[in-house]
Copies of this chain bind each other. A is one copy, B any other.
Amino acid sequence: MIVTLAPDVPDSTRSSIADAAALIGSSARELTWEDGIRVVAIDGDLHADALRLPGVVASHDKHKNYMLASKLVRERSTVRVGEVEIGSGHPVIMAGPCVVEDRESTVAIAREAQANGAVMLRGGAYKPRTSPYASQGLGEAGLEHLAAARDETGLPVVTEVMEPDQVDLVAHYADMLQVGARNMQNYPLLRRVGQSRRPVLLKRGFSATIEEWLMAAEYILAHGNPNVVLCERGIRAFDPAFRFTLDLNAVPMVKELTHLPVIVDPSHGTGKRSLVAPMSLAAIAAGANGLILEVHPNPDSARCDGSQTITLDTLRTISAQVRALHSVLNGVSVVA
């Protein structure tokens, strides 16, 4: 059950609802939106009396596996990261290197990414690597370089956090916390980023169903953080010609099921440089709220993922086409 509370709800109502939830063996998970409205998720149905308390605005007793992520709560939410708003109006382009290499190159790439249309900077300081012998990233030094690049350019930074104990540290430097595909069902990590107020970019696990993905988002929301952006990044399919199969069907599907913004990562999602530009445009045409792109001045010499990294020229073209495409599509509406 979902209960909506007014910004000026009395504390007595909040504690009565918590008591009523406890009575049915559940707990009341409260989420506060930016506008002060609170939504409480309870796994079960409260006694009707609780719903008549002062400050209760509405309630839905339709159960879903995800409540706070569902359209029952709101039609669309937007997530603000620094000055950037994700989920309203123009698609947001995040770009940067796969892995942070050093301060100088990070600042340089950030400047060039910005000049070519990016409004956020991405880059890995902690890297989940399939091999224990591969470089695991620069760690805190990498975070410092990203922060330096943000300070130089104003671009908010998104970077991956891999374990609960890293959340505070990463949140200290970064503007948005990325939960990677391999960690989509790392529940201790989801709980911990849910307790943070930093916006979270939640990548879809590469064999996660849409429902599992939304339930992972629900973990973050149910622990108090309303600032969740979903990111489709390719699923596992059967053709060895593709490293991953970018699943754009997920974009309109999650827009039907949830109010959360969704962006697309065609770099990891295809694993192939020549597919990044066409699939970027396709993602926006499918309704995505933005893109996250691996970019490097010289992709073939990038320290990781070179085969899926685009040049700054390609970034500029994509940015221009995304703008054009978004404008033209917003002049004509689709009726299903």
Chain A residues engaging chain B, CB cutoff 8 angstroms: 26, 29, 41, 43, 65, 128-133, 136, 162-165, 182-183, 185-191, 206-207, 209-212, 215, 218-219, 222-223, 235-242, 245-249, 251-253, 256, 270, 272-279, 281-287, 310-311, 313-314, 317-318, 320-321, 324-325, 327-329, 331-336
A210 to B270, CA, bound (A): 14
Residues of B within 8 A of A163 (CB): 163-164, 186, 188-189
Contact in complex: A317, B332 (CB < 8 Å) = yes
A276 to B252, CA, bound (A): 9
Residues of B within 8 A of A218 (CB): 131-132
Contact of A207 (CB < 8 Å), options: B238, B284, B325, B329: B238
Contact in complex: A252, B239 (CB < 8 Å) = no
A292 to B222, CA, bound (A): 33
Contact of A332 (CB < 8 Å), options: B26, B238, B324, B336: B324
Contact in complex: B246, A275 (CB < 8 Å) = no
Residues of B within 8 A of A285 (CB): 278, 281-282, 284-285, 325
A272 to B253, CA, bound (A): 10
Contact in complex: B237, A247 (CB < 8 Å) = yes
A65 to B333, CA, bound (A): 40
Within the complex, what minimum Cβ distance (angstroms) separates A31 from chain B? 12
Residues of B within 8 A of A324 (CB): 328-329, 331-332
Which of chain B's residues has its CB closest to A272's CB? B253
A237 to B223, CA, bound (A): 32
Interchain Cβ contacts under 8 Å between A and B, 10 examples:
A130-B185, A131-B218, A182-B186, A209-B239, A235-B245, A237-B238, A245-B247, A249-B275, A252-B279, A278-B287
Residues of B within 8 A of A236 (CB): 207, 236, 238
Which of chain B's residues has its CB closest to A242's CB? B249
Contact in complex: B247, A133 (CB < 8 Å) = no
Residues of B within 8 A of A239 (CB): 209-210
Within the complex, what minimum Cβ distance (angstroms) separates A118 from chain B? 17
Contact in complex: A278, B256 (CB < 8 Å) = no
Contact in complex: A334, B310 (CB < 8 Å) = no
